[in-house]
Amino acid sequence: MSARSHTSMTDFELAMYYQFSEVQKRQQYLTMSFFADKAVIVGKYCLFAIFEGEEYLRSFEIEVIVSHDFPNIPPIIKETSGKINRKIFPHVYSDGSLCLEVKTKIILELRKNPTLCFYFEHFVDSYFLSYIYFMKHGRMPFGERSHNDKGTLEFYKELFGVNSINIAREFLIILCERNLKGHNPCPCLSGNRYRNCHHDKISALKNSGEFYLFQNDYKTITSGK
Ligand SMILES: [Zn+2]
């Protein structure tokens, strides 16, 4: 870390120093520096976990770039020692960064828990655990998320609490573009009227501070194919 006095630090730098000191309690081989308004965390990341009675102990080399707008922009993480092979393990973006989760889901979770500790313990630990598990068992331990629009819709399926991605797509349209009158049958096929079923959930999301995220996803999905 740099030896600059606290008076010359920005609020972002101060917050990152504080948060990073918490991360270092578990990850002492990581270091942090600042570059062009971003925090850059590099070094050896150690995973230690017990899952399904098996012990997981492995280290990875990581580079994490934390934006000034954290947590509204999620960090970008790469594994730099080449351990994660995209040909074998597909959850890596074309630029080499790791696909930890659907972006909107990461932002929603980070806004509830806006700390680097949570980011590492919640997303990075499960990613590396999944990787080791996958290499050993040939499948993902927590269920596999599809890529691109399908993966996004799978996330909305969970968010809306519905049974299929087609119904999730329909609710996303209702959320972002077209209102549905309360007396209509609910698109979730429960047999109830919309007003007595999903209406409150959808309008809560519409009025939430995260609505812009849903709109962005909706635009991406509808502009695609
Ligand atoms: Zn419903």
One digit per residue, pLDDT tens: the chain, 225 residues? Answer: 555 555 688 999 999 999 999 999 999 999 999 998 999 999 999 999 999 999 999 999 999 999 999 999 999 999 999 989 888 898 999 899 999 999 999 999 999 999 999 999 999 999 999 999 999 999 998 887 887 889 999 999 999 999 999 999 999 999 999 889 999 999 999 999 999 999 999 999 999 999 999 999 999 998 865
Cα–ligand 1 centroid distance for 188 (angstroms):
4
d(CA 217, CA 15): 29
Are 98 and 111 contacting, i.e. CB atoms less than 8 angstroms apart? no
What single letter denotes the amino acid at residue 181?
Answer: K
Q: What angle do CA 9, 12, 15 make, to 5 degrees?
A: 95
- What is the residue extent of each domain of the chain? 6-137, 148-224
Task: Provide the CATH number for the domain formed by 6-137 in this structure.
Answer: 3.10.110
Cα–ligand 1 centroid distance for 155 (angstroms):
17
Q: How far is CA 207 from CA 47, 176, 200, in A?
A: 39, 11, 11
Cα–ligand 1 centroid distance for 189 (angstroms):
7
Cα–ligand 1 centroid distance for 192 (angstroms):
7
Cα–ligand 1 centroid distance for 193 (angstroms):
8
Task: Please report how the helices 199-206 and 211-224 are oriented relative to each other, as an axis angle in degrees rounded to 10.
Answer: 100
Cα–ligand 1 centroid distance for 3 (angstroms):
57
Global pTM reads 0.88
What DSSP line would sit under 124-155, residue for residue? Answer: IHHHHHHHHHHHHHSS-TT-PPPSHHHHHHHH
Cα–ligand 1 centroid distance for 178 (angstroms):
16
What DSSP line would sit under 161-177, residue for residue? Answer: T-S-HHHHHHHHHHHHT
Compute how many other C-beta atoms are within 10 angstroms of the C-beta atom of residue 100.
21
Cα–ligand 1 centroid distance for 152 (angstroms):
20
